[in-house]
Amino acid sequence: MKNTIVVGAQWGDEGKGKLVDVLAEQSDLVVRFNGGGNAGHTVMHDGETYKFHYMPSGMLHHKTCILGTGVVINPKDLLEEMESFTSSGHSPKLKISARAHVIFPHHQLIDAKEGGKIGTTGRGIGPTYSQKASRINLRMLDIIADDAEQRIKTALKDVKDMLVSEGILSEQDYNDYCSSVAVEYAKYGQHFKPFITDTEDLVRIASKSGQSVLFEGAQGTLLDLNYGTYPYVTSSSTLAAAAYVGGGAIPGVPIRILGITKAYTTRVGEGPFPTELHGEAATLLRETGHEYGATTGRPRRVGHLDLYALRYAIRISGIQELAMTKIDTLALVSGIKVCTAYKINDKVIDYFPADAPTLELVEPIYTEIDSISSLSREDWSKLKTGNKAALPESIRNYIKFIEDYVEIPISILSHGPERNETIVF
């Protein structure tokens, strides 16, 4: 299998974790390239449910997994995740980029104070990337250094004024924080030392020697810092292009770009959502699809499939094919519609609004879709032929409608959370 980039084509939570788990079987290396513990990948296998925030979903196949340079890491949370994975009988084969930035507790405190208006996950993601861009943050290579404690204390001096003046820590708390966090994080550094390396080298060597590398994106294209629904976005790039910058993918090496979309749309946190459902219809879809955030447990906002937004995401991320998840959920609800155009002030528009307040004004134009056939597990299992013609007519029509609109194929259909509930065409 050639190298593949997997990205979300909506606002995250599209089911990337499951798809990466499926694709990892035929990959040699799995690389995460953006985000941090804000991601929540749920993978079900053999009746067990695994929730990963950091570890690439390829872990379950015992593949070498990499946290690349574009990822931000809370070592405490990563350690807990690794320990829990180990105690369930697995041995993680993990490599961590020396250049990946470290999330400290003060980043989470800042996020808790300031992230409310965006509805962040509260994991300190924004403040970490922001201090990375300000060139005052520390990287994994700093916490494994012999003088790690000193480096941490020095870095904390740079943020002292801000922490104290904004009331995030008192002067006294700041002093206590400095000494305790320096010791604690230097200890994490010692723990992670064997895992930390120049991960781009591993990716380059694997790519050049014909191995197959799977790049796993976190969040979704519409949460991209540059092209998403700013300011209601995450703080990293979630596009396929980020696999090059943050994961070490090599320009020029042939690559497949797979976008993941649900059969409908969800979003967590604040921000425009033109096809959002409310009231009973929303409750029904949310409960049927178990739409609660894997990281925060928050109820997800739910809505009709927004093909107009999906096509925008496909174009800006360069997505070549789609995997569609949760078709089984859609089959259990009635009144299906898909949005095929946006109107503002009664005029159909031909662009995806960059301005969030303008996007709030959008009136979606819908096309009604026939109900989707609901199949039993047994019926689904008979459809493993990989042949779209074998699908029930209603599902075939839904897929065809989407493919015609977005002008790329749906090459994978997921009809349940388990690995084997997947049809590859």
118 interacts with ligand IMP by CB under 6 A: yes
Among the listed residues 4, 42, 57, 121, the single contact to ligand IMP using CB under 6 A: 121
The residue with tokens 């104290």 is 164
Interface segment toward ligand IMP; rule CB under 6 A; list 9-17, 161-169, 318-326, 411-419:
9-17
Smallest separation, CB 110 to ligand IMP (Å): 11
Would the CA dihedral through 186, 188, 191, 194 be positive or negative?
A: negative
Please identify which residue in 223, 255, 310, 362 interacts with ligand IMP, judged by CB under 6 A. Answer: 223
Nearer to ligand IMP, 124 or 189 (CB): 124
Please tell me the count of residues contacting ligand IMP according to CB under 6 A: 21
13 forms part of the interface with ligand IMP (CB under 6 A): yes
Residue facing ligand IMP at closest CB distance? 269
41 is catalytic: yes
Closest CA to 414 of 307, 353, 328, 354: 328
Closest distance to ligand IMP from the beta carbon of 53 (Å): 9
By CB under 6 A, is residue 269 in contact with ligand IMP? yes
Q: Which stretch binds ligand IMP (CB under 6 A): 115-123, 135-143, 342-350, 353-361?
A: 115-123
Q: Shortest CA distance to 265 belongs to which of 223, 225, 226?
A: 223
379 is catalytic: no
CB of 414 to ligand IMP, least distance (A): 17
Tell me: does residue 110 bind ligand IMP (CB under 6 A): no
Write a three-state SS string for the chain: CCEEEEEECCCCCCCHHHHHHHHHCCCCEEEECCECCCCCEEEEECCEEEEECCCCHHHHHCCEEEECCCEEECHHHHHHHHHHHHHCCCCCCEEEECCCEECCHHHHHHHHHHHHHCCCCCCCHHHHHHHHHCCCCCEHHHHCCCCHHHHHHHHHHHHHHHHHHCCCCCHHHHHHHHHHHHHHHHHHHHHHHHHEECHHHHHHHHHHCCCCEEEEEEEEHHHCCCCCCCCCCCCCCCCCCHHHHHHCCCCCCCEEEEEEEECCEEECCCCCCCCECCHHHHHHHHHHCCCECCCCCCECEEECEEHHHHHHHHHHHCCCEEEEECHHHHCCCCCCEEEEEEEECCEECCCCCCCHHHHHCCEEEEEECCCCCCCCHHHHHCCCCCCHHHCCHHHHHHHHHHHHHHCCCEEEEECCCECCCEEEC
Catalytic residue among 28, 41, 106, 328: 41
Q: Rule CB under 6 A: say whether 219 interacts with ligand IMP.
A: yes
Residue among 234, 275, 325, 329 that touches ligand IMP (CB under 6 A): 234
By CB under 6 A, residue 325 contacts ligand IMP: no
Select from 66-74, 78-86, 228-236, 380-388 the region that touches ligand IMP (CB under 6 A): 228-236
Q: Is 259 in the site for ligand IMP (CB under 6 A)?
A: no
Q: How far is CA 191 from the centre of its chain?
A: 26
Query: For ligand IMP, which residue of 82, 100, 125, 156 counts as binding (CB under 6 A)?
Result: 125
Is 107 one of the binding residues for ligand IMP (CB under 6 A)? Answer: no
Q: Which CB sits closer to ligand IMP, 348 or 354?
A: 354
Return the residue of 39, 242, 302, 369 that touches ligand IMP, per CB under 6 A: 39
Answer for which of 3, 12, 257, 414 binds ligand IMP (CB under 6 A) is 12
Q: Of these, 24, 29, 155, 268, which contacts ligand IMP (CB under 6 A)?
A: 268
Q: Is 34 in the site for ligand IMP (CB under 6 A)?
A: no
Q: How far is the CB of 81 from ligand IMP (least distance, A)?
A: 15
Give the residue numbers marked as catalytic. 13, 41
Interacting residue ranges for ligand IMP, rule: CB under 6 A:
11-13, 38-40, 118-121, 123, 125-126, 218-219, 223, 232, 234-235, 268-269
